[in-house]
Structure 1
Amino acid sequence: MIGLIIAIIAFNFFAFKTNKRLNSIEIVCIWTFTIAFQNIFDLFIDMKYHAYWYISSGVDWKALPAHTILLPPVNMMFLNWFPFKAKMINRIFYMCIFVIGILIYELITLLPEPWGYFHYKWWSLWHSAIVDPILLLILLGYYKWICRLERNSLKR
């Protein structure tokens, strides 16, 4: 649990301290999307297929911070630093470096209590290595859609 608290504080501090791109509306949209999308994903992967879980298996109040305030700042950092105007190779490189960072962090979360709070059943780091880029691409698509909606609403 100590690792979760440290991660939440650190990720939120760095996400808001380094944010130069995202406005408040985009931040709210990213947070809402991340919480909804993560909970839908976890509903199947955690509850239905019992692949992994936070803190303890099943629904648990202690895991609520991991489901609500841990990942949104990570997604903020990903979008804030994403090189949208760079060449495709640079965007792919950024995505690969970010996924490697996520995988290293995931390994840390697997440490025993009190530092770790994430647990695998049949899930593995290889599953995350395959799924994480897909989830980040979905996030990028959502962010671009939000930006397009924002631009269109300003034209009115």
Structure 2
Amino acid sequence: MLGLLLAVFLFNLLAFRLTNRFTKNQIIHIWLFTTALQVIFDTIIEFKYHAYWYFSKEPDMLGLVAHTVLIPPVNMLFLNWFPFKRKVMYKLIYIAVWTTGILLYEMITLLPEPWGYFHYGWWRLWHAAILDPILFLILVTFYNWIVKVEGTLVRN
């Protein structure tokens, strides 16, 4: 549990101190989209197929913390420095670096408590290595859409 609380504090502190790209509306969109996508995915993979779980195999309050306030600030940091105006190769390298970082972090979460809080069923690190870049691309696509929609809004 200590590892989760430390990570939540650190990621949120960094996200809200170091990001400067986003409007409040964009932060809300990033936060809600991330939470919704994670909850939908984890409802299937975690609770139905028991691929992995936080703390225990059953839904619990600490798992809810991991689902709602751990990943959104990480996504804010990822998007803040994403090279939107660079060539595709830079974007792919950026995603690869962030995927590597996320995988290293996931390895730390697998440590025994109090530092670790994540447990594998049949899930393995290579599953995350394949899925994480796809999730990053979905996030970038969603963010680009939100920015486009904001640009077309008629303000009163």
Pairwise TM-score range, normalised by the shorter structure = over 0.9
Partner of 2:34: 34
> Does residue 123 of structure 1 match 2:115?
no
Structure 1: how far apart are the matches of 2:62 and 2:48? 20
Partner of 1:54: 54
Structure 2: how far apart are the matches of 1:155 and 1:146? 16
Structure 1 residue 150: deviation in Å? Answer: 0.2
- Match of 1:106, SS? helix
RMSD over aligned Cα atoms: 1.1
Structure 2: how far apart are the matches of 1:10 and 1:62? 17
The count of residues paired between Structure 1 and Structure 2 equals 156
Structure 1 residue 88: deviation in Å? Answer: 1.1
Structure 1 residue 154: deviation in Å? Answer: 4.6
Stretches of structure 2 that go unaligned for 5 or more consecutive residues are: none
Partner of 1:146: 146
The residue identity in structure 1 corresponding to 2:89 is I
Query: In the superposition, relative to structure 1, how do residues 86 and 155 fare at CA in structure 2: closer, same or farther (>3 Å)?
Result: farther
- Per mean C-alpha deviation after superposition, the further-off stretch among 109-118 and 52-61 is 52-61
> Does residue 77 of structure 1 match 2:108?
no
- Match of 1:115, SS? coil
Structure 1 residue 34: deviation in Å? Answer: 0.6
Percent identical among aligned pairs is 54
Structure 1 residue 155: deviation in Å? Answer: 7.2
Stretches of structure 1 that go unaligned for 5 or more consecutive residues are: none
Q: Normalized against structure 2, the TM-score is what?
A: 0.97
Q: Normalized against structure 1, the TM-score is what?
A: 0.97
Structure 2: how far apart are the matches of 1:130 and 1:17? 30
